[in-house]
Structures are given as structure tokens and as C-alpha cells.
Amino acid sequence: MTKRIPSPTPTSDRLPKCPSGIKGLDEITGGGLPRGRPTLVCGGAGCGKTLMAAEFLVRGAVQFDEPGVLMAFEETEKELNANVASLGFDLAGLVQRKKIVVDYVHIERSEFEESGEYDLEGLFVRLGHAIDSIGAKRVVLDTLEVLFASLPNEAVLRSELRRLFRWLKEKGVTAVITAERGRESLTRHGLEEYVSDCVILLDHRVNDQIATRHLRVVKYRGALHGTNEFPFLIGEDGISVLPITSLALNHQVSTERIATGIPRLDAMLGGKGFFRGSSILLTGTSGTGKTIISSNFAQAAALRGERVLFFSFEESPNQIIRNMHSIGLRLEPLVKRDLLRFHSARPSLYGLEMHLATMFKEIATYKPHVVIIDPITSLMDLGTDSEGKGMVTRLIDYLKANQVTSLFTSLTQGGKAPQESEAAMSSLMDAWILLQDFEGNGERNRVLYVLKARGMKHSNQIREFLISDHGIDVVDAYIGVSGVLTGSARVAQGDLEKAAVLASQQEAAQLKREVERKRAALERKISDLRSDYESEALELRRIAEQVGTRTFVLGTERVASGLLRQADIKVAAITRSKSKTVKGTS
């Protein structure tokens, strides 16, 4: 609780608080009602004063082990039992287990006659006895103002009320006093004069035929508190106040990425898809494939074994399953394995707050990993712009706090600039994918692009996608002179490019063949020359050998004849052979 109120010193140090247990109220008040002091809850008829007081008491008894006394001036114990039973509280059981004492104070005006001075000690004794009998820590007085109508002497009553509140404080009980809203003042009989510690104002307004209850902490002495008006709901399990601003921006973030189920869309998102726990907006005019892309996303998540909760506000679950079957998405087995759960409701079924509460409840019970809301715009139409934005903020806050990835589809009106109509929502979203129709060339084609994706590199290209029997295909991008090409223009451009590639390929092949041929010719020439050279060299060697042999023979003959002549042969032979070899080699 304290982490949600950005306060340097925890308020609990200064003022002890008594957690009411009512969803959201403790967040607004920073921990609960002032402990040991009276709190005034005022509001008009039917705004839930008694229920809030009763819930405070029941939750105290059940959750915080603080027994309580309910002093009812308007409703009998039986009526009260029945009323709070509708919120799932077993008041009678708690009374039996001595956790709660209900004292119905019945004052019949016609029985009364004043005959002198009196005080309200009877009330004090009853209350004191009830408190002491179970050791009560909490007290509810609903509605004290009945006394004003029943007791003739207002002066006595006022002084006694003052004494009562002082007495309650001395008793150290945390008290809730309900009072009817007055015309000019907070309460009809000015009870706020006595209860000065904490005043909570409830009100019930009808806007556009849809009634919403609001709660405001008018005053909380000695503590920080949310001062805004907060819508609240009376649901099947009690009151829930839905604070918009009580949640601080301190969500845990994940760096895990999850695939979209469309591989090429993942590629556009830095190759890995969205961040887990991020909020994704998918906008487009009708028929651009919002539901299909979200179903794809749902299927991909469910196939990974994650739980997916699909809120559909336009189509029934069966219709979605059937329609998705036609493009090859089989959602039914996933529904059977409880990996995918649908929740369909008409937007006009109830007000924004009720829708939000139902969604919170579904999310809390199913604990999904991925939540899809298709489309968020039909919900936002229920309230004013600021209410709608408030709702989305709360929803995203809630989902992010629970690390749930959320995908919202948004229907944009044709003609309006999409960025303008979604301006309110878009700033809350981490990723925004825009689906568009491209008209031209006698056809209508679907394109998508990533308008923003916080924290990741993403493609800036406009990509056409096709919806076929096997889901969604993001196809190659072709850019022509007038921008991106889609449909048949894209196909034509594709063919053209293919032809060009083919032509250049052929050209290259021919060139290659030519070069090859030239190289072969060159090599042939080289080998011819080499063989010429080799045969000539061979010839030369043969001639040289012949010359050598002849010289040798000549030499030997001369030596032999010299021997015969017995001349000085040695010198003559050497000089001659030398000159001969020189001649022979040259």
C-alpha cells in the first residue's frame, strides 16, 4: 500500500490506519480509514452507503480479525442479512460466530412522548455493551440521522451526538457513520460538523443513460489521500473502487519477446516480436483484418502453452472460431484445452465501470498471459472521451502490473485520420500497428505498418499482407514510382523484376561462355608453340651428340696415327681437342 503513495515518510507513522478491505479504497486513502476515529460516509439515496459500511465491517471480521458492531437505524437485521447476502457476505453466520453484533435500533415516532429532560445514554449503553460483548474494533452506525426524525429535541440530540463521537474515539473503535446527503451541505443534518477526521462522499450519476457511482475522499485529516472522484462498483463480491491515478508507473518490465504468429511481422519488429507485458494497439478501418491478426496472435500464444483471454465485443465466440477456421486457424482445440478463453458481451449491456470490473474479475480468475480486446473502441464509445481513456489506462495499468501482454484492436472511421482518433489511446500503448486499405488500380488491398514500437528496432516499411487459406502472409514489398505497390500492380512489378533478372542472368552466362572459349583457344595456341619448341630442342640435342661423337672419333684416330709416328703427341693432342670442342659447341 505505502509504495503506491509517493510519500517520503510513511503515513502510517503519523496516523494509524484501519484497512477497510474494500478494493481500491485502501489505495486511495493510503492504507484505510483512520484507526480509532469516526469516518463519515455520506451520499444520496441508493449510492451504496450502507453496503460500504457493511462491507467495512464484514471484511474487518473476516480478513483482519476485527469484530464489529453494526447499529442499524433503518433496516432490520433480517433485511440487512438479505441485502449483504447479495454481495456474498454471510452476515448471519458472522453474527452466530460472534464476529459481528447487529443491533437494530427501532424508534417509532408515534410511541414517543417527551416528558422532560433526557439524554441518549440508552444508545451508549447498547453500543457499549455490544462492543464489549465481542471485543469489537469496528463500529458502523447506519444511519444516525433517523434520530433527527424520531427525537423531538434537536438541541439534546446534537449535544448527545457530539458526546457520542467523543465517546467512540475514547473507546478506540474505528467507526463508520453513514448520513444522507444534504442539499447545501454534505449531510442533511450537518453531521460533518462532528465527524471531522475523515469524510467520504458517494454519489450516483446517470450519464447517457448509464449510471455510475463515484467516490470521493472529501477530507482525511492528517493523511495524504486521493482527492479525485473515483468510480466504484457494487459487484457480486462487494464494492470495488477503481482508482485511475492511484497506481504509480512502476511496473516490472520484461525483456522477453513473444512472437506474433506471423513470422514476417516478427521480422518487422526487430525479428523477435513484441515485448512480453507490453500493450499493443491494432487500428484499422473495418475489414482490414484486425480480428484475424489478433486471432493469429492468440493462436501463437496458446500454442506456446500460454493462456489467452479474448474479450470480444462484436462477435460471439463461435462466430470467431468459425471465421478463423476459414483461414486455417484452429482455435477450437485450444479452447478445449482451456488455453484460450473467450468472453463475449454486448458493449451496451452495462456501463464502462461494470465492463471493467467484469474484465478485472475474469483476468484475476483466469490469470492469462495474453489478453485481447476486440475492439476497445466499442467500449470507449460508452463513456465520454476522458472516461474511456481512464478506463483504458486502468486496464493497461492492471495488465502491466501483472505482466500480461495486451492487444487492443481499434476500429477507426473511414475518412478520419487514424492518428487523430486514436490520439487519446495511443500514448498509452507500447506498440502500434496500423492496418489500412489501399485503393487504386481497380482493387483494394490490405497493408500494415508499424507506427511505433517502444524499445525495439522496427521496420518503417509499408507492407502488404494477404489473407489466405493458411492465415496471414506478409508479402514482399515493391516500391514503384508512386509509392508502395499492392495487389496486381505488385504482382506485375514482381514479374517485371523477374524478367529483368532473367535477362541479365542470360547475358552473363553468354559472356562467360565467350571468355571460356577464348581461354580454350589461347591454351591451344600455347600448347602448339610449346610442342614446336620441344621438337626443335630435341633436334638440336641430337645434332650436338652427333658432332661430339665425330670429334671423338677423329681425335682417337689422330692419337692412333701419332702413336704410329711416335711424335710428341701429348701436347699436340690436347691443344687440338680443345679447339675442336669450342668449334663443336658454337
Partner 1 sequence: MTTLKTKNISRAKRPRTRVSAKSPALKYVLRLFVAGATIRSRQAILRVRALCEAELKDSCELEVIDIYQQPTLARENQIVATPTLIIEFPPPLRRFIGNLANIAGLFAELDVLNKAKIVL
Q: Which residues contact 539 (CB under 8 A, 6 or more apart)?
A: none
Using alpha carbons only, what angle is made at residue 536 by residues 532 and 540, rounded to the nearest 5 degrees?
170
Minimum distance of partner 1 from residue 125's CB (angstroms): 5
Nearer to partner 1 (CB atom), residue 125 or residue 526: 125
Closest separation in Å from C-beta 134 to partner 1: 13
The one among 2, 79, 85, 121 contacting partner 1 by CB under 8 A:
121
Total interface residues for partner 1 by CB under 8 A:
25
| Contacts of 84 by beta carbon, 8 Å cutoff, 6+ apart | 51, 54, 55, 58, 91
Per CB under 8 A, which of residues 442..501 are in contact with partner 1? none
**Which of 77, 314, 315, 362 is flagged as catalytic?**
314
Q: Which of residues 139-158 bind partner 1 (CB under 8 A)?
A: 147, 151
> C-alpha distances in angstroms, 137 versus 66, 266, 535?
5, 58, 126
Closest to partner 1 by CB, 131 vs 392, is 131
For the bound state, the minimum distance from the C-beta of residue 147 to partner 1, rounded and expressed in Å, comes to 8
- Residue 44: what are its φ and ψ, rounded to 5°? -75, -175
Instruction: Write out the three cell numbers for 166.
Output: 467523543
74/381 with CB nearer partner 1: 74
**Angstrom distances, CA of residue 85 to CA of 54, 82, 236:** 11, 5, 10
Of the candidates 74, 315, 332, 362, the residue annotated as catalytic is 74
* Residue with Cβ nearer partner 1 (113 or 568): 113
Classify 215 as helix, strand or coil: strand
Q: Which is nearer to partner 1, 115 or 585 (CB)?
A: 115
The residue within the footprint of partner 1, chosen from 46, 88, 93, 122 (CB under 8 A), is 122
- Does position 123 bind partner 1 by CB under 8 A? yes
Is 362 in the active site? no
Sequence-distant (≥ 6) Cβ neighbours of residue 16 within 8 angstroms: 34, 35, 36
Separation CA 134–CA 132 (nearest Å): 6
Among residues 120 and 407, whose Cβ is nearest to partner 1? 120
Site stretch for partner 1 (CB under 8 A), options 123-131, 165-173, 298-306, 551-559 = 123-131
170 contributes a contact to partner 1 by CB under 8 A: no
Pick between residue 91 and residue 373 the one whose CB is nearest to partner 1.
91
Residues facing 241 on adjacent strands: 232
439 in active site: no
Regarding 128 and contact with partner 1 (CB under 8 A), the answer is: yes
**Considering the complex, what minimum distance in angstroms separates the CB of residue 83 from partner 1?**
21
Q: What's the full length of the chain, in residues? A: 586
Return the residue of 5, 25, 51, 120 that touches partner 1, per CB under 8 A: 120
Which three three-digit cell numbers place residue 392?
Answer: 483504458
- Is 135 one of the binding residues for partner 1 (CB under 8 A)? no
What is the C-alpha separation between 290 and 97, in angstroms, rounded?
Answer: 55
List the end-to-end C-alpha distance of the chain, in Å, as a whole number: 116
Q: How far is the CB of 85 from partner 1 (least distance, A)?
A: 23
Other CB atoms within 10 A of residue 533 CB: 10
Find the binder of partner 1 among 129, 205, 524, 570 (CB under 8 A).
129
CB count, 10 Å around CB of 107? 12
Q: How far is the CB of 149 from partner 1 (least distance, A)?
A: 13
Q: Looking only at residues 84 through 113 of this chain, which bind partner 1 when binding is defined by CB under 8 A?
A: 103, 105-107, 111-113
Taking the complex as a whole, the smallest distance from the CB of residue 128 to partner 1 amounts, in Å, to: 7
Q: What is the Cα–Cα distance from 248 to 265, expressed in whole angstroms?
A: 32
The answer to whether 17 touches 33, Cβ cutoff 8 Å, is yes
- Residue 53 DSSP SS3: helix
CA 416 to centroid of chain Cα atoms: 26
Which range touches partner 1 (CB under 8 A), out of 118-126, 239-247, 340-348, 432-440? 118-126
Edge-to-edge strand list for the sheet holding 405-411: 340-344, 308-312, 370-374, 405-411, 279-284, 431-440, 443-453, 463-468, 471-474
Residue 285 pairs with which residues in a beta bridge?
none
The grid coordinates of residue 495 equal 514479374
Which position among 4, 126, 158, 169 is part of the footprint of partner 1 (CB under 8 A)? 126
Toward partner 1, which CB reaches closer, 78 or 525? 78
CA distance 434 to 59: 47
Smallest gap, in angstroms, from Cβ of residue 160 to partner 1? Answer: 9
Distance in Å, CB of 142 to partner 1, minimum: 15
List the interface residues with partner 1, window 339-378 (CB under 8 A). Answer: none
Question: For partner 1, which is the closer residue by CB, 121 or 385?
Answer: 121
Rule CB under 8 A: which residues touch partner 1? Answer: 103, 105-107, 111-126, 128-130, 147, 151
Catalytic residues: 74, 314
